């Protein structure tokens, strides 16, 4: 307890404060919620570290200047003070300094945001909107609670076989991130694919006004970010802002997402692993080598993808359908689908020197993605299987139900080893496992780093380890 309290007076404290702001994306509500939950400020940088951006570095310099002036003020009180309580006043000043810093750092942050960041962002976004309005490329917008990045990359890979198709890298799905990407466009692109991020109502509408899409894809709706949206109805309404913008233009909706399907409108194209419009899927199979299926409709087409899991068939069909509409031949589409591979940290297979296979799904933090991953892991029968997770974040009022369902699905899939990281949600997974009379072994670890260090001693050649989700530091 004393050590935790004293961590506020360590040399790492100013950096910890600025890191917490940075990791919270400078959202003060999230920052203060995290700050009030921290016990030891020496341990806030676990999964990631402070990044020396211009804003972060400036705030860190301001934090140290603040500390310098507090120390100087206390010293002046001691050296020149003539009143009897000078020692008490100096001590109180030093004692409250960490708390003053934690709250006071928001003042320069506010000044930076109002007088520097917002004007720059306004200019960049306005410029990007004008460039996109004049750009002749077909623009595709992808919205949804999950699967946006995978859909974006599938579309980009397949369309690139016949078109100059590009998309922002990484998770550039905010107005500023997209605007920075647009600055680099040559103007010769034929297809632009944008992932539309959503955290609050109105986000998708703002992004639509920026990118002005011609085609939309709604990948699904679930509890992801429910803590911010509060209600699934608000989530659905926000994501369907894409359909509101595109009235009368092509919209693809994931038919395997119950809430997305409920909100679909006449004229929307429904896709699933079973097919799209008059094209139907048969002979589907997925293993560690990829996914195979046959598409029948106007002819027959055998397709192969490096992506893992039958749930990937639906997004591949969207790429097939859009590519066909934009003039690609079946042969070009087939080659494009063959080039699709697991994306970084999204059911990405790796094999180490000992022959242990790891399925890295640490960027998958939504219930539908977890269900698909467990389904795929359960289909790999000739291996001993480990499932490692700290659970999911931002599930709001559905936290208990979501995690109990994960436990039940793991039990039904007969996963031999379930590795749980101790936190506020994983005991619900354990409850779900027990409710379904799980017959395997549950292994508990205090944190993910300890679990990762132990796995080499728990696994042997041929074992499969699925790493599901990775909690950011503010959720530890």
pLDDT at 229 > cutoff 90: no
pLDDT value of position 475: 61
pLDDT at 207 > cutoff 70: yes
Measured CA to CA in angstroms, residue 121 lies from 111, 170, 348, 370 at distances of 15, 20, 35, 35
Q: Of 109-113, 168-172, 316-320, 340-344, which one has max mean pLDDT?
A: 316-320
Task: Give 283's contacts (C-beta < 8 A, 6+ positions apart).
Answer: 292, 293, 294
pLDDT at 171 > cutoff 90: no
Q: Are 400 and 367 in contact (CB under 8 A)?
A: no
pLDDT band at 199 (very low <50, low <70, confident <90, very high): confident
Both tokens assigned to 166: 């590009």
* CATH 3.40.1190.10 intervals, the chain: 137-338
- Collapse the DSSP code of 287 into the 3-class scheme (helix H, G, I; strand E, B; otherwise coil) and give the result: strand
Report the side by side order of strands in the sheet with 348-351: 348-351, 357-361, 464-468, 385-389, 417-421, 441-445
pLDDT value of position 471: 74
Mean pLDDT in residue range 9-29: 94
Question: What CATH architecture is 137-338?
Answer: 3-Layer(aba) Sandwich (3.40)
Q: How far apart are CA 157 and CA 338, in angstroms?
A: 9
Mean pLDDT in residue range 1-17: 92
Looking up tokens 């996963």, which residue turns up?
Answer: 415
Q: Of 46-55, 114-123, 372-381, which one has max mean pLDDT?
A: 372-381
pLDDT band at 227 (very low <50, low <70, confident <90, very high): confident
Q: How far apart are CA 351 and CA 358, in angstroms?
A: 6
pLDDT at 476 > cutoff 70: no
Answer with the residue of higher pLDDT: 83 or 372: 372
pLDDT value of position 396: 87
pLDDT band at 287 (very low <50, low <70, confident <90, very high): very high
pLDDT at 473 > cutoff 80: no
* CATH 3.90.190.20 intervals, the chain: 348-475
Q: How far apart are CA 422 and CA 196, in angstroms?
A: 33
Measured CA to CA in angstroms, residue 61 lies from 15, 52, 110 at distances of 10, 11, 16
Q: Are 357 and 331 in contact (CB under 8 A)?
A: no
pLDDT band at 430 (very low <50, low <70, confident <90, very high): very high
pLDDT band at 443 (very low <50, low <70, confident <90, very high): very high
pLDDT value of position 298: 84
pLDDT at 20 > cutoff 70: yes
pLDDT value of position 230: 86
Q: How far apart are CA 177 and CA 196, in angstroms?
A: 11
pLDDT band at 387 (very low <50, low <70, confident <90, very high): very high
CATH number of 348-475: 3.90.190.20
């Amino acid at each position: 307890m004393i050590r935790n309290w004293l961590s506020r007076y360590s040399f790492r404290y100013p950096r910890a404060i600025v890191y917490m702001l940075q990791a919270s994306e400078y959202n003060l509500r999230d920052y203060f919620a995290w700050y009030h939950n921290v016990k030891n400020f020496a341990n806030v940088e676990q999964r990631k570290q402070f990044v020396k951006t211009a804003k972060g570095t400036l705030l860190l310099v301001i934090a140290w200047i603040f500390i310098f002036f507090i120390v100087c003020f206390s010293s002046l009180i001691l050296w020149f003070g003539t009143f009897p309580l000078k020692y008490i006043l100096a001590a109180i000043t030093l004692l409250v300094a960490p708390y003053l810093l934690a709250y006071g750092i928001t003042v320069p942050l506010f000044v930076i945001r109002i007088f520097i960041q917002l004007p720059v962002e306004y200019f960049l976004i306005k410029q990007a909107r004008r460039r996109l309005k004049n750009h002749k490329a077909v623009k595709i917008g992808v919205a949804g609670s999950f699967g946006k990045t995978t859909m974006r990359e599938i579309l980009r890979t397949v369309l690139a076989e016949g078109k100059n198709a590009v998309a922002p890298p990484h998770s550039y799905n905010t107005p500023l991130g997209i605007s920075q990407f647009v600055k680099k466009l040559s103007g010769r692109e034929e297809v632009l694919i944008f992932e539309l991020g959503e955290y609050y109502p109105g986000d998708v509408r703002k992004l639509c006004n920026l990118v002005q899409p011609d085609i939309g894809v709604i990948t699904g709706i679930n509890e992801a970010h429910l803590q911010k949206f509060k209600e699934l109805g608000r989530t659905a309404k926000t994501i369907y802002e894409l359909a509101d913008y595109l009235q009368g233009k092509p919209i693809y909706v994931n038919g395997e997402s119950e809430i997305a399907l409920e909100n679909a409108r006449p004229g929307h194209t429904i896709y699933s692993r079973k097919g799209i419009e008059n094209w139907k899927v048969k002979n589907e199979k997925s293993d560690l080598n990829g996914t195979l299926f046959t598409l029948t409709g106007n002819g027959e087409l055998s397709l192969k993808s490096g992506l893992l899991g039958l749930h990937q068939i639906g997004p591949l069909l969207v790429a097939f359908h859009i590519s066909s509409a934009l003039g690609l031949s079946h042969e070009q589409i087939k080659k494009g689908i063959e080039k699709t591979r697991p994306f970084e940290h999204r059911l990405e297979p790796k094999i180490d020197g000992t022959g242990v296979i790891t399925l890295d799904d640490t960027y998958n933090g939504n219930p539908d993605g977890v269900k698909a991953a467990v389904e795929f892991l359960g289909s790999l029968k000739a291996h001993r299987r480990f499932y490692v997770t700290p659970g999911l974040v931002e599930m709001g009022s559905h936290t208990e139900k979501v995690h109990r369902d994960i436990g039940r699905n793991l039990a039904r899939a007969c996963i031999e080893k379930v590795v749980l990281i101790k936190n506020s949600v994983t005991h619900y997974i354990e409850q779900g496992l027990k409710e379904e009379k799980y017959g395997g072994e549950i292994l508990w670890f205090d944190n993910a780093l300890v679990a990762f260090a132990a796995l080499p001693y728990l696994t042997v050649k041929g074992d499969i380890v699925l790493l599901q989700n990775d909690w950011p530091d503010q959720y530890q």
